[in-house]
């Protein structure tokens, strides 16, 4: 929740909707988890309610909340560690489920890259483009292998 509030003031409903959007509906937290967590974060001094007219109350980070987010972002596991967790998770799946999971992740990654494109500098876009072309070439090989097996 803190990371969601990093850039925007959000209501509890908007937080729930953002979790749903980011997980593509795989996780839909209920009010019984969103609002108690917001209350706990508020009690810790990490978020505060924004005074507005109307029924819906947005929340925003306090200064302590912004500092906590910076700490959280510094502690995020490095990419190789995340990859190892993913490899371990995949090892428990059947080959069919593993393949479907990987295709789903590629689709999610493609959607995420489209959202990020507008936020990147020209230099970052060129670097990303080179990496995407490498992935495209690998996907082309996989596609041809699958077509041959039909």
Sign of CA dihedral 96, 102, 104, 106: negative
pLDDT of residue 21: 83
Cβ neighbours of 121 (radius 10 Å): 8
Looking at residues 7-25, what average pLDDT do you find?
Answer: 88
Sign of CA dihedral 146, 105, 21, 123: negative
Cβ neighbours of 47 (radius 10 Å): 25
Mean residue pLDDT of the chain comes to 87
- Please, which residues bridge with residue 10 across strands? 59
pLDDT digits (tens, 9 = 90+) for 68-113: 988 887 776 666 666 777 777 788 888 898 888 888 888 888 888 8
pLDDT of residue 23: 76
User: Which two three-digit tokens encode residue 35?
Assistant: 């609002």
Place of tokens 């795989």: 26
The domains of the chain are located at 4-75, 94-148
Q: Are 6 and 61 in contact (CB under 8 A)?
A: yes
Report the candidate in 92, 78, 86, 121 with the shortest Cα–Cα distance to residue 106.
86
CATH number for the domain running over 4-75: 1.10.10.10
Largest CA-CA distance found in the chain, in angstroms, rounded: 63
pLDDT digits (tens, 9 = 90+) for 62-71: 999 999 988 8
């Amino acid at each position: 929740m803190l990371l969601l509030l990093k850039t925007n003031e959000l209501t509890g409903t908007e937080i729930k909707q953002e979790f749903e959007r980011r997980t593509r509906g795989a996780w839909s937290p209920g009010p019984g988890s969103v609002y108690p967590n917001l209350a706990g974060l508020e009690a810790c001094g990490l978020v505060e309610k924004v005074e507005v007219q109307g029924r819906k109350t947005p929340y925003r980070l306090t200064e302590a909340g912004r500092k906590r987010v910076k700490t959280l972002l510094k502690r995020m596991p490095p990419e190789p560690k995340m990859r190892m967790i993913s490899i371990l998770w995949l090892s428990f799946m059947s080959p069919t489920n593993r393949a479907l999971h990987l295709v789903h992740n590629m689709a999610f990654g493609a959607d995420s890259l489209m959202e990020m494109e507008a936020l990147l500098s020209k230099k970052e876009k060129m670097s990303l483009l080179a990496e995407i072309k490498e992935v495209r070439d690998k996907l082309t090989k996989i596609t041809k292998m699958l077509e041959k097996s039909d």
